Amino acid sequence: MKTSFTLNGKAVQVETAPDATLLWTLRDALGMTGAKFGCGASLCGVCTVHLDGMPVRSCLTPISMAAGRSVTTIEGLAEEELHPLQKAWIDEQVPQCGYCQPGQIMQAAALLRSNPRPTREEIVSYMNGILCRCGTYLRIIKAIERASQSR
């Protein structure tokens, strides 16, 4: 099955099995390895990417859902400079193992796009469901607060 969509601002066409997911198409066919495989059941959020600007769990999103739409991965979040969230992640020393960080940042970017100045409670609520095995949640919250203030 051929599927055409926009990936990080560029038109792409990919041939996949009809039951392929967006995650494995991105990773295996297109070399976009930022989104990670975590649970495979849309529960942990490490595979989060944007589909038409909205966060989706790519591990269960069929590639057919991307047809004619726009997909943004962590690799395409910023063009020339780091995204304010990426800068804040560094400044707040968020990552430990780093595995969940692309999903965390993509979820946070969607939050800040829809709500540029979220409260701490709004951040916690919106980020609920993106798991971090290292437990850096307090630093994640601080980084999102920092990024919202720099915008």
- CATH code for the domain of 109: 1.10.150.120
Which DSSP state fits 100?
T
> Kind and range of the H or E element at 145?
helix 137-149
72 with 100, same domain: the answer is no
Distance CA 25, CA 73 (A): 12
Distances (CA, A) of 114 to 4, 46, 117: 27, 21, 9
60 with 101, same domain: the answer is no
Which DSSP state fits 115?
-
* pLDDT, tens digit, 9 for 90 and up, residues 42-98: 999 999 999 999 999 999 999 999 999 999 999 999 988 999 999 999 999 999 999
Which DSSP state fits 135?
-
Per-residue confidence (pLDDT) for residue 79, from 0 to 100: 85
Domain range for 113 is: 84-150
